[in-house]
C-alpha cells in the first residue's frame, strides 16, 4: 500500500504560539486513520493544512504523492471533507444543498445523490429546508455532502458530533463499507475513542501540537494487557487487604468503587481473600487494555515522539 498523505516535519505557528510542532505522519491508501488528541491538540489545524486551507510555517505535506502547495484545485475534487461544523444554505432543502455542492465539484449524478441521502438516513427529509434540521441531521447531511462524489480520500473532523447512538452506528458502518467496498482512505478525528477503536487501522496520537505516537491497531491489540476489573463496596479496604496478603500483586484503584488487577491467572485467590474480609464484590470482569487506556497512558505519560 502506498502513502496517500505524508507530512514531514510540519510546524504551524500563529504569532508566538506553535500549535503544530514538527509533525511527521503517514496515511496509507485504503486505511482508516484515527486521529486522537485532547482539545486544542492541533488535529483540525493539521487537517486544514492537508486541505490547503492553512499554510504550514515549515515542513512538507504531500497528498496523492504530490506536494500540496503544487497541487491544482483538481486534487480537491478527489477529497471529501468535514472540517469543524458543516455550513449549508439554510433556506434551501437538503436536496438543493447537495445539488449545489455537486455542481461546484463538477459532478452530477442524481442516482448517487439519492443513494447517498439514503445511506445517511435522510431520504425522507430531502425536501425539508436545512434551517429546520437538528444538529444530528445537519451532521448527517455534512457526511452525505462529503461522500456523494465517492472521493478517493475522506477527511472527517469530529463527524459523529451530535449524532444519536443509531446515527453513530450507521455512520460507523458506512465508513467501514466505503473503505472495504470502494477503497476509500479515511482520516477521522473523534473524541469518542471507542468508535475509533472499532473502525481504525492506524492511530495517530497528538498532544500540544506534537505527534506522540503513530501505531497500528493490530500493534495496540497485540500488546494489550489483560486484567480483572472489580467493582467493590469498599475499595480502600480491598487495597489494604490485597497489599497485605499479596505484596507482589500488581493492582490499581481506578475509581471510588473500581479496582484493576493485572497479570493474574487464578482470580479465585483474590476473590476468596476479599470475601473473607467481608468486602462485597458487586461486579467482576476480565478485560483487555482498550484504545482509551492506550490513549490515556500515551498522553498522560507524555509518550515519546513517533
Ligand X SMILES: Nc1ncnc2c1ncn2[C@@H]1O[C@H](COP(=O)(O)OP(=O)(O)OP(=O)(O)O)[C@@H](O)[C@H]1O
Contact footprint for ligand X (CB under 6 A): 14, 17, 19, 37, 39-45
Closest separation between CB of residue 54 and ligand X, Å? 8
Instruction: Kindly give the residue spans of alpha helices, DSSP state H, lying in the chain.
Output: 43-50, 94-104, 110-119, 135-147, 165-182, 193-199, 217-222, 235-245, 268-276, 291-300
Neighbour-count burial for 61-83, b at 16+ CB within 10 Å, e otherwise? bbbbeeebeeeeeebbeebbbbb
Closest separation between CB of residue 81 and ligand X, Å? 14
Closest separation between CB of residue 14 and ligand X, Å? 4
Residue 123 or residue 161: which is nearer to ligand X going by CB?
Answer: 161
Q: What DSSP string runs through 156-197?
A: EESTTTT--HHHHHHHHHHHHHHHHHH--EEEEE-S-HHHHH
Residue 16 or residue 248: which is nearer to ligand X going by CB?
Answer: 16
Instruction: Kindly give the residue spans of alpha helices, DSSP state H, lying in 51-131.
Output: 94-104, 110-119
Closest separation between CB of residue 227 and ligand X, Å? 29
Residue 14 or residue 262: which is nearer to ligand X going by CB?
Answer: 14
Q: How far apart are CA 269 and CA 260, in angstroms?
A: 15
Residue 14 or residue 108: which is nearer to ligand X going by CB?
Answer: 14
Closest separation between CB of residue 166 and ligand X, Å? 24
Phi and psi dihedrals of 21, rounded to 5? Answer: -120, 110
Residue 43 or residue 152: which is nearer to ligand X going by CB?
Answer: 43
Amino acid at each position: 500500500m502506498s502513502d496517500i498523505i505524508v507530512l514531514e516535519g510540519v510546524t504551524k505557528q500563529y504569532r508566538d504560539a506553535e500549535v503544530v510542532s514538527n509533525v511527521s505522519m503517514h496515511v496509507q491508501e485504503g486505511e482508516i486513520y484515527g486521529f486522537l488528541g485532547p482539545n486544542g491538540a492541533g488535529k483540525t489545524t493539521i487537517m486544514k493544512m492537508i486541505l490547503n486551507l492553512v499554510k504550514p510555517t515549515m515542513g512538507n505535506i504531500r497528498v496523492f504523492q504530490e506536494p500540496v502547495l503544487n497541487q491544482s484545485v483538481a486534487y480537491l475534487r478527489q477529497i471529501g471533507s468535514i472540517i469543524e461544523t458543516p455550513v449549508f444554505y439554510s433556506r434551501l432543502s437538503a436536496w438543493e444543498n447537495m445539488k449545489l455542492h455537486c455542481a461546484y465539484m463538477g459532478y452530477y449524478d442524481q442516482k448517487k445523490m439519492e443513494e447517498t441521502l439514503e445511506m445517511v438516513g435522510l431520504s425522507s427529509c430531502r425536501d425539508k429546508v436545512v434551517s429546520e434540521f437538528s444538529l444530528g441531521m445537519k451532521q448527517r447531511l455534512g457526511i452525505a455532502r462529503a461522500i456523494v462524489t465517492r472521493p478517493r480520500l475522506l477527511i472527517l473532523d469530529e463527524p459523529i458530533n451530535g449524532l444519536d447512538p443509531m446515527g453513530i452506528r450507521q455512520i460507523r458502518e458506512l465508513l467501514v463499507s466505503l473503505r472495504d467496498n470502494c477503497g476509500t482512505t479515511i482520516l477521522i478525528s473523534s473524541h469518542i475513542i471507542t468508535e475509533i477503536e472499532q473502525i481504525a487501522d492506524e492511530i495517530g496520537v497528538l498532544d500540544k501540537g506534537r505527534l506522540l505516537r503513530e501505531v497500528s491497531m493490530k500493534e495496540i491489540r497485540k500488546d494489550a494487557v489483560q486484567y480483572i476489573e472489580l467493582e467493590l463496596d469498599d475499595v480502600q479496604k480491598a487495597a489494604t487487604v490485597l497489599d497485605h496478603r499479596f505484596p507482589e500483586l500488581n493492582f490499581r484503584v481506578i475509581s471510588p468503587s473500581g479496582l484493576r488487577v493485572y497479570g493474574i491467572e487464578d482470580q479465585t485467590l483474590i476473590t476468596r481473600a476479599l470475601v473473607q474480609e467481608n468486602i462485597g464484590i458487586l461486579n467482576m470482569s476480565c478485560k483487555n487494555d482498550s484504545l482509551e487506556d492506550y490513549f490515556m497512558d500515551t498522553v498522560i505519560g507524555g509518550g515519546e515522539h513517533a
